[in-house]
Chains A and B, each alone.
Chain A
């Protein structure tokens, strides 16, 4: 039951995040803040892919951890990119300040949902 409740909470947070981002686009009729959604959804992907590529058995081999490190590095890059991109657009006057604030908050909500969903599922996988 707790699992279903947290899934409902996470999906409503995800919907709030999408609401904020789409509102920030639609209020000014300027759909550039949608790139924030793409960035934050792509952000955990390098971590997953590189985590699959590495072989967890030979932890003595440093080449195995190099690709994991690259995945983490790229994830950190993408997370900061999701925050920096609306600020860059705002500084050049391409999108308005309210759209910037709303898209950053919405993107962080989406990213938090994705990350907590991943942690939730990996914990349930370890139990079985």
Chain B
């Protein structure tokens, strides 16, 4: 491998297809944990908690934004991101792919920022005590987990590219 970017070479187990498969499974599990942390807060606030500050649709909006961002980011064909260096691709394919990727990252970062906004504006600033404060914290945790899941999925799909590259040459 003469065209490496970093000086440390990745360990050998990182390039195996088993690691890639495990990464995809772990990504699904992380997304599931994130979703159920939020669902837990919603169910708890409507089933057990008797008070003013309940989980409404507003609390779900950041998670929906993050999930849409994850969908957009991972729908992109990764090989098109560097397509300008190849002559057989059409005009501006890499540019379009980067715009869509930027939209995905903006959706995801917007989701995380929105969850922090809701935590501050709805829960911390009015000074609510702990059981409803946990709803806002679980909102942030859920968005962080969706982001983490997306990172794991992205990295493991890039590992697949490396693997097939090694296989063909």
Contact = CB atoms under 8 A, between A and B. Distances in A.
Interface of A: 59-60, 62-63, 65, 69, 72-81, 84-85, 87-89, 91-94
A76 B28 contact: yes
Contacts of A79: 25, 28-29, 32
Given A69-B24, A76-B25, A92 B48 contact: yes
Interface of A is mostly: helix
A84 B24 contact: no
Contacts of A88: 36, 39-40, 43
Contact of A80 (B21, B33, B168): B33
A73 B27 contact: yes
Contacts of B32: 76-81, 84
Chain B contact residues (Cβ within 8 angstroms of A): what range?
20 to 34
Interface in B109-128: none
B31 interface: yes
A94 B47 contact: yes
Interface in B31-52: 31-33, 36, 39-40, 43-44, 47-48
A78 B32 CA distance: 8
Interface in B95-117: none
Nearest to B149: A73
A65 B79 CA distance: 14
A62 B157 CA distance: 10
A72 B164 contact: no
Contacts of A94: 43, 47
Interface of B: 21, 24-29, 31-33, 36, 39-40, 43-44, 47-48, 77-79, 153, 157, 160-161, 164, 168
Contact of A72 (B21, B48, B78): B21
A94 B44 CA distance: 10
Contacts of B25: 72-73, 75-76, 79
Contacts of A89: 43
B26 A60 contact: no
Contacts of A87: 36, 40
A78 B21 CA distance: 16
Contacts of B26: 76
A94 B43 CA distance: 10
Most B Cβ at <10 Å: residue of A74, A75, A81, A93: A81
A76 B164 contact: no
A108 B77 CA distance: 35
26 contacts: A62-B79, A62-B160, A65-B160, A72-B21, A72-B24, A72-B25, A72-B28, A73-B24, A73-B28, A74-B28, A75-B28, A76-B25, A76-B26, A76-B27, A76-B28, A76-B29, A78-B32, A79-B29, A79-B32, A80-B32, A81-B32, A84-B36, A91-B44, A92-B44, A93-B47, A94-B47
